[in-house]
């Protein structure tokens, strides 16, 4: 298929929260304690909340920037592309990149909202989570409901309150909850406890997908403190196999047969090996470990419950039938460094050369629509006006380059170590 003819919904992008996001969502009593943006002495814009200071990392907002300027130093809003934090500019960037729909993970609260969960005052924390979700759903996604798949942040410290928030959001049309790869490593009971059952029941009742983003365990894939950062970048997606195995063998699919989980930014090419390994583990070991899937095998369980996600993964596209053609969704990863924006459609068309149109439509947008119960065509939008070619036509003249860093400011940050940064995942 020619890149222009693709229709693309991305199930994994990122937003950088704008400084004014809480303006209309802050209860009067928390006026001085809600998260706020400050500019520090180094010239970085940082979020400040209850004693914590969270910078926005350069690598998390590189869209449009030359690769030589990628890096992990903190940045300021006026140094990054406006599409990162301004929804109107974002939609223009989506048009220029040929992308119809997008689901946006959070930045400063960390993927599972653990920054808010770390707040000792749980009344404050709950109001912040709700305010974040209201802003995200009503303002960010609400500005362009046919362009954004809405997603909620969890109330991580209380499964009953988490369930309540999921039900509240579902009434607003939300069917995605960003969650952690491993609650145990965040200090909570594991996926093997019954602690989370109220939440699992709520996501099943409301057809909500647990969207588990790589890195959301709070643990980076680091082999040694002196390992080059390339090691971590290489390993991070496959690291989500830990979450896949942990959930696959847990009581959750057995007790909650409607549970659905997305392995966001996890890649797809390793999945066939993983499924074969899980099946072999079952065949060789279940008689002593006590696992029992009845007349099914682990790979059947996986295909029932898991969505896999890829940016540009020739191995996974080639093995799509071994993964399950209904279990694969494309993603853009804008504005992060793994994204090929604005050339992602060309990249996908090349990777998927020879793939039948029907398969490419499933991976490109239909699976995303079905898994997330989200229909951009519900209010009259047509597929013809939603192709890569049609969207780009609309965006003609939109500048896709991003201005360079101020070199002097950047040099102040040279040598910063990734382990020293505040939570980014």
Site residues for its own copies, window 48-87 (CB under 8 A)? Answer: 67-71
Nearer to its own copies by Cβ, of 214 and 368: the residue is 214
The interface mask with its own copies, positions 287-316, x = CB under 8 A, is xxxxx--------------------xxxxx
- Min. distance of Cβ 354 from its own copies in angstroms? 16
Whole-angstrom distance, CA of residue 325 vs CA of residue 271: 12
Whole-angstrom distance, CA of residue 419 vs CA of residue 52: 16
Secondary structure of 97-161 as H, E, C letters:
HCCCEEEEECCCCCCCCHHHHCCCCHHHHHHHHHHHHHHHHHHHHCCCCCCEECCECCCCCCHHH
Nearer to its own copies by Cβ, of 44 and 338: the residue is 338
Site residues for its own copies, window 353-392 (CB under 8 A)? Answer: none
Longest CA span, the chain: 64
Nearer to its own copies by Cβ, of 52 and 232: the residue is 232
State in Å, rounded, how far the first CA of the chain is from the last one: 35
Site residues for its own copies, window 100-159 (CB under 8 A)? Answer: none
User: Can you tell me which of 39, 123, 228, 375 binds its own copies, judged by CB under 8 A?
Assistant: 228
- Min. distance of Cβ 89 from its own copies in angstroms? 23
Whole-angstrom distance, CA of residue 139 vs CA of residue 14: 16
State both tokens at 298: 């682990």
Q: What residues contact residue 19 under an 8 Å CB cut-off, 6+ apart?
A: 36, 37, 45, 77
Is the separation of the CB atoms in 233 and 251 below 8 Å?
Answer: no
Site residues for its own copies, window 310-349 (CB under 8 A)? Answer: 312-316, 319, 322, 337-338
Number of residues that bind its own copies (CB under 8 A): 64
User: Can you tell me which of 269, 324, 345, 376 binds its own copies, judged by CB under 8 A?
Assistant: 269
**At 264, is the secondary structure helix, strand, or coil?**
strand
Is the separation of the CB atoms in 364 and 348 below 8 Å?
Answer: yes
- Min. distance of Cβ 318 from its own copies in angstroms? 9
Is the separation of the CB atoms in 122 and 158 below 8 Å?
Answer: yes
Nearer to its own copies by Cβ, of 42 and 231: the residue is 231
> Which residues of the shown chain bind its own copies in the complex (CB under 8 A)?
67-71, 182, 184, 190-193, 221, 223-231, 233-235, 237-238, 241-243, 245-246, 248-250, 267-270, 272-274, 276-278, 280-282, 284-291, 312-316, 319, 322, 337-338
């Amino acid at each position: 298929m020619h890149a222009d003819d693709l229709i693309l919904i991305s199930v994994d992008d990122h937003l950088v929260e704008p400084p004014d996001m809480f303006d209309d969502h802050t209860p009067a009593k928390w006026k001085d304690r809600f998260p706020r943006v400050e500019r520090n002495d180094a010239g970085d814009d940082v979020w400040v909340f209850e004693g914590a200071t969270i910078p926005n990392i350069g690598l998390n907002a590189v869209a449009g920037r030359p690769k030589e300027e990628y890096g992990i130093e903190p940045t300021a809003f006026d140094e990054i592309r406006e599409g990162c934090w301004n929804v109107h500019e974002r939609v223009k960037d989506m048009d220029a990149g040929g992308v119809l729909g997008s689901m946006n993970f959070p930045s400063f609260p960390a993927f599972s909202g653990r920054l808010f969960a770390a707040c000792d005052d749980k009344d404050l924390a709950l109001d912040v989570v709700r305010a974040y979700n209201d802003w995200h759903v009503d303002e960010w996604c609400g500005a362009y409901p046919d362009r954004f798949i809405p997603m909620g942040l969890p109330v991580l410290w209380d499964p009953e309150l988490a369930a309540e928030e999921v039900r509240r959001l579902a009434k607003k049309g939300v069917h995605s909850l960003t969650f952690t790869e491993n609650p145990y490593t965040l200090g909570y009971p594991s996926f093997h406890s019954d602690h989370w059952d109220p939440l699992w029941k709520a996501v099943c009742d409301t057809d909500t997908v647990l969207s588990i983003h790589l890195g959301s365990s709070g643990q980076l894939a680091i082999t040694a403190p002196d390992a080059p950062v390339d090691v971590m970048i290489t390993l991070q997606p496959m690291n989500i196999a830990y979450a896949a195995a942990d959930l696959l063998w847990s009581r959750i699919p057995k007790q909650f047969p409607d549970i659905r989980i997305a392995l966001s930014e996890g890649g797809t090419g390793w999945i066939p090996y993983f499924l074969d390994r899980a099946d072999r583990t079952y065949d060789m070991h279940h008689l002593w470990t006590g696992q029992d899937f009845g007349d099914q095998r682990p790979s059947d369980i996986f295909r029932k419950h898991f969505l896999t996600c890829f940016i540009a993964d020739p191995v996974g596209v080639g093995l799509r039938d071994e993964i399950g053609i209904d279990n694969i969704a494309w993603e853009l990863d804008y504005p992060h460094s793994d994204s090929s924006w604005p050339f992602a459609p060309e990249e996908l068309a090349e990777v998927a050369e020879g793939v039948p149109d029907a398969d490419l439509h499933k991976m490109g947008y239909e699976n995303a629509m079905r898994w997330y119960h989200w229909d951009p065509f519900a209010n009259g939008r047509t597929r013809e006006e939603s192709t890569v070619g049609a969207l780009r036509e609309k965006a003609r003249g939109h500048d896709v380059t991003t201005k360079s860093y101020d070199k002097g400011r950047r040099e102040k940050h040279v040598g910063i170590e990734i382990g020293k940064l505040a939570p980014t995942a």
